[in-house]
C-alpha cells in the first residue's frame, strides 16, 4: 500500500498485525501481569527507556498497546496512553503538567466529574482553575496568569453542547506557549480531529461512543507530539525528575522520543506510580468498538438530528439545544469544525419545567434512564438531579444547565421507534 490507509481502514487495522507466533487474526487478550525479560541487559534497557517494551501491565500491555497505537493513528497524534477511565485520563494529564501553585484556564461547560475535579479536588493539591464562558475565545486570554500551565476545553460542552472556536483558542494557547488540551469524547475522531485544530493533547473517554455498547470503562490520552516543553515554566519537564533517576523530560530523551515527552512522562510517572491502568480485557472491548465506530457515529448523528428537529416542533417542548439545528446558537461554529455530523446527544426542556422533565423520564419505555452516553441503546438523564447535582445552582447555570434540562443520548434503534417512545413520554408531561 503506497498511499496511507483511509480513516475507515485504520479503525479496523491500525496498530495490529496477525499474531506472528499463534497466527490469530483477532486481537489476542494478554491476561498477564508481567513479561519475561530476555536478559539482565534488556531488563535494564527497558527500565532505562533505552528500549521501549513490555515490563508490567500497570505500565503497558500488548493488547492495550494496539488500542493505543490505533487511537494515535485515528487522532493523527504521536503517542497515546490508555488508562482506567476518562476521568483518570484527565487527572493524570493535569498532574503530568501542573503541580502545587499552578493554574488552569478551562471552559466552564464541562462534564460534571471534570468540573468537580477542577473545582473541588485539584485546589486541595494547590492547582486552581479559572472557568470561562467558552463561546467567547477572548475570555481564555483574559484569564491567563503567570502560573497558568494549560488551557482546557471539551469538543462539545457538557451538557449544553456548545462548540468552542478551537482555532481561536488554539492561537491564544500558542501565543502564550501553553498546551491546549481538548476532551474530544463527544465527537470522537469521526466528527472532529482536535489535533488538526491546534490541540496538543487529546483526551477521549473510551466508555462512550468508542466502546459504543455501555460495557466497559476506560480513557485514553493522545500526545500530538507538537508541544515544546523546554520553557522553564514547565518545571516537571525541566528539572531533574526524582521519579526517573534525574531525567529532564524536555532535554534528556533521545531525539526520536523528544516529541512524546508528555506521553512518556504520563506513562512512567503518574500511571506507573499512581496506577490507574486499563485492564487488557477492557482494551479488547474498545478495539472491538472502534471497528464499527464510523458507521455508528454517523447513524447516531443522523438519528439525533431527526430527534432534535422533531422535538423543536413538538407542542410540549419549550426549547431544544443541538449543534445541528440551524437556529442553535452554536450551529455556525459547529458547522466549521464538525463536518460529518453533530453528534449523538440532544438536550431539551419541557414546557412544564423540572417536574415535567422528571415525569417525562419516568414515562420512557424504550429509552433507559441512566448516567451514560454513547451506547447503541437510547438513554435519558436529568443532569441537575444526577450527574451535575454536586454543583451549586449558580455553577449549574454558568455551565448552561437549567433545572428542567433533559439529556438524551440517541441510540441506533429504528428512528420511528425512538420518536414513538419520546412522543408517548411527552404526552404524559
Ligand atoms: C464520560 C465523560 C468523561 C469521564 O469518562 P469516564 O470514562 O466515565 O471516567 C469525561 N469527559 C466527558 C466529556 C465524558 O462524557
Q: What is the pLDDT of residues 320-350, one digit of tens each?
A: 999 999 999 999 999 999 989 999 999 999 9
For residue 182, being part of any structural domain is answered with: yes
Q: Which atom of ligand 1 is nearest to the CA of 154?
A: 13
For residue 99, being part of any structural domain is answered with: yes
Q: Nearest C-alpha to atom 3 of ligand 1 is from which residue?
A: 86
Q: Which atom of ligand 1 is nearest to the CA of 217?
A: 7
CA pair distance 181, 72, nearest whole angstrom: 15
Evaluate: CB of 286 within 6 angstroms of ligand 1. Answer: no
- Asked if residue 264 and residue 176 are part of one domain, the reply reads yes
C-alpha cell at 383: 443532569
Q: What separation in Å is there between the alpha carbon of 372 and the centre of ligand 1?
A: 9
DSSP 8-state secondary structure symbol assigned to residue 183: E
Q: What percent of the chain has pLDDT above 70?
A: 99
Evaluate: CB of 139 within 6 angstroms of ligand 1. Answer: no
CA pair distance 406, 415, nearest whole angstrom: 19
pLDDT above 80: residue 2: no
Ramachandran angles phi, psi of 34, nearest 5°: -140, 165
**Model pTM?**
0.96
Does the N-terminal peptide bond of residue 159 adopt cis geometry, omega within 30 degrees of 0? Answer: yes
Q: What is the pLDDT of residue 160?
A: 82
CATH of the domain at 397: 3.90.1150.10
- Asked if residue 255 and residue 305 are part of one domain, the reply reads no
pLDDT above 90: residue 116: yes
Helix H or strand E encompassing 306: helix 293-312
Query: Of the ranges 55-64, 166-175, 280-289, 388-397, which one carries the lowest mean pLDDT score?
Result: 388-397
- Asked if residue 140 and residue 86 are part of one domain, the reply reads yes
Task: Report pLDDT digits (tens) over 132-177.
Answer: 999 999 999 999 999 999 999 999 997 789 999 999 999 999 999 9
pLDDT above 70: residue 393: yes
Residues 9-33 have a mean pLDDT of 94
- Asked if residue 262 and residue 153 are part of one domain, the reply reads yes
- Asked if residue 352 and residue 223 are part of one domain, the reply reads no
Would you place residue 399 in the very low, low, confident or very high pLDDT band (cuts 50, 70, 90)?
low
Task: Report pLDDT digits (tens) over 294-318.
Answer: 999 999 999 999 999 999 999 999 9
- Asked if residue 54 and residue 183 are part of one domain, the reply reads yes
Q: What is the pLDDT of residue 47?
A: 85
* Residue where a domain terminates, one of 260, 288, 316: 288
- Asked if residue 281 and residue 230 are part of one domain, the reply reads yes
Q: What is the pLDDT of residue 32?
A: 97
* Residue among 111, 194, 344, 407 whose CB has most ligand 1 atoms within 8 A, to mutate: 111
CA angle, corner 116, sides to 226 and 276, nearest 5? 60
pLDDT above 70: residue 188: yes
For residue 378, being part of any structural domain is answered with: yes
- Asked if residue 367 and residue 248 are part of one domain, the reply reads no
For residue 280, being part of any structural domain is answered with: yes
Q: Using an 8 Å Cβ cutoff, are 179 and 227 in contact?
A: yes
For residue 3, being part of any structural domain is answered with: no
Task: Report pLDDT digits (tens) over 203-212.
Answer: 999 999 999 9
* Residue among 82, 87, 278 whose CB has most ligand 1 atoms within 8 A, to mutate: 87
Would you place residue 269 in the very low, low, confident or very high pLDDT band (cuts 50, 70, 90)?
very high
CB atoms within 10 A of CB 165: 19
Evaluate: CB of 207 within 6 angstroms of ligand 1. Answer: yes
CATH of the domain at 274: 3.40.640.10
Q: What is the CA radius of gyration of the chain?
A: 22
Q: What is the pLDDT of residue 96?
A: 98
- Asked if residue 419 and residue 271 are part of one domain, the reply reads no
C-alpha atoms less than 13 angstroms from C-alpha of 4 in its C-beta half-sphere: 7
- Asked if residue 326 and residue 257 are part of one domain, the reply reads no
* Residue where a domain terminates, one of 231, 262, 288: 288
Q: What is the pLDDT of residue 390?
A: 76
Q: What separation in Å is there between the alpha carbon of 392 and the centre of ligand 1?
A: 20
Q: In the chain, what are the helix, strand and coil shares in percent, each to the nearest 5?
A: 40, 15, 45
pLDDT above 60: residue 1: no
For residue 29, being part of any structural domain is answered with: no
Q: What separation in Å is there between the alpha carbon of 154 and the centre of ligand 1?
A: 10
Buried b (16+ CB within 10 A) or exposed e, 98-122: beeebbbbbbbbbbbbbbbbbbeeb
Please give the residue range of the domain that contains residue 41. 36-288
* Residue where a domain terminates, one of 245, 272, 288: 288
Q: What is the pLDDT of residue 55?
A: 94
- Asked if residue 244 and residue 166 are part of one domain, the reply reads yes
- Asked if residue 143 and residue 40 are part of one domain, the reply reads yes
Count structural domains, the chain.
2
Would you place residue 425 in the very low, low, confident or very high pLDDT band (cuts 50, 70, 90)?
very high
Alpha helices in 76-122 (DSSP H): 86-97, 112-116
Find all residues with CB under 8 Å of 308, minimum gap 6, and list them: 320, 322, 324, 325, 346
For residue 21, being part of any structural domain is answered with: no
Q: What separation in Å is there between the alpha carbon of 267 and the centre of ligand 1?
A: 20
Mean of the per-residue pLDDT values of the chain: 95
For residue 189, being part of any structural domain is answered with: yes
Q: What is the pLDDT of residue 49?
A: 81
Q: What separation in Å is there between the alpha carbon of 219 and the centre of ligand 1?
A: 8
Q: What is the pLDDT of residue 403?
A: 85
CB atoms within 10 A of CB 184: 23
Evaluate: CB of 303 within 6 angstroms of ligand 1. Answer: no
* Residue among 115, 194, 208 whose CB has most ligand 1 atoms within 8 A, to mutate: 208
Amino acid at each position: 500500500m503506497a498511499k496511507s490507509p483511509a480513516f475507515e481502514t485504520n479503525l479496523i487495522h491500525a496498530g495490529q498485525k496477525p499474531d506472528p507466533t499463534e497466527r490469530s487474526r483477532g486481537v489476542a487478550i494478554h491476561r498477564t501481569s508481567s513479561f519475561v525479560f530476555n536478559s539482565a541487559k534488556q531488563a535494564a534497557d527497558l527500565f532505562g527507556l533505552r528500549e521501549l517494551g513490555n515490563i508490567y501491565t500497570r505500565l503497558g500491555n500488548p493488547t492495550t498497546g494496539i488500542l493505543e497505537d490505533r487511537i494515535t493513528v485515528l487522532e493523527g497524534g504521536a503517542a497515546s496512553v490508555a488508562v482506567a477511565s476518562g476521568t483518570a485520563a484527565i487527572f493524570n494529564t493535569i498532574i503530568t503538567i501542573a503541580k502545587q501553585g499552578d493554574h488552569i484556564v478551562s471552559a466552564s461547560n464541562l462534564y460534571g466529574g471534570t468540573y468537580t475535579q477542577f473545582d473541588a479536588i485539584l485546589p486541595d493539591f494547590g492547582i486552581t482553575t479559572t472557568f470561562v464562558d467558552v463561546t467567547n475565545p477572548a475570555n481564555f486570554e483574559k484569564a491567563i496568569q503567570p502560573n497558568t500551565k494549560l488551557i482546557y476545553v471539551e469538543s462539545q460542552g457538557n451538557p449544553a453542547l456548545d462548540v468552542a472556536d478551537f482555532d481561536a483558542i488554539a492561537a491564544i494557547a500558542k501565543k502564550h506557549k501553553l498546551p491546549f488540551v481538548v476532551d474530544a469524547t463527544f465527537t470522537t475522531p469521526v466528527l472532529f480531529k482536535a489535533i488538526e485544530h491546534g490541540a496538543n493533547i487529546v483526551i477521549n473517554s473510551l466508555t462512550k461512543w468508542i466502546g459504543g455498547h455501555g460495557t466497559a470503562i476506560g480513557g485514553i490520552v493522545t500526545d500530538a507530539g507538537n508541544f515544546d516543553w523546554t520553557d522553564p515554566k514547565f518545571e516537571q519537564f525541566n528539572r531533574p525528575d526524582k521519579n526517573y533517576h534525574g531525567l529532564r523530560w524536555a532535554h534528556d530523551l533521545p531525539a526520536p522520543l523528544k516529541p512524546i515527552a508528555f506521553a512518556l512522562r504520563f506513562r512512567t510517572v503518574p500511571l506507573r506510580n499512581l496506577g490507574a491502568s486499563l485492564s487488557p480485557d477492557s482494551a479488547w472491548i474498545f478495539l472491538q468498538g472502534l471497528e464499527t465506530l464510523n458507521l455508528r457515529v454517523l447513524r447516531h448523528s443522523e438519528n439525533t438530528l431527526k430527534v432534535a428537529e422533531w422535538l423543536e416542533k413538538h407542542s410540549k417542548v419549550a426549547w431544544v439545544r443541538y449543534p445541528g439545528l440551524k437556529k442553535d446558537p452554536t450551529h455556525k461554529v459547529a458547522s466549521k469544525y464538525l463536518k460529518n455530523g453533530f453528534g449523538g446527544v440532544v438536550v431539551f426542556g419541557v414546557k412544564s419545567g423540572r417536574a415535567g422533565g422528571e415525569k417525562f423520564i419516568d414515562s420512557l419505555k424504550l429509552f433507559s434512564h441512566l448516567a451514560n452516553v454513547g451506547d447503541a441503546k437510547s438513554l435519558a438523564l436529568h443532569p441537575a438531579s444526577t450527574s451535575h447535582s454536586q454543583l451549586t445552582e449558580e455553577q449549574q447555570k454558568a455551565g448552561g444547565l437549567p433545572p428542567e434540562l433533559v439529556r438524551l443520548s440517541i441510540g441506533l434503534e429504528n428512528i420511528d421507534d425512538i420518536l414513538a417512545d419520546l412522543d408517548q413520554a411527552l404526552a404524559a408531561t
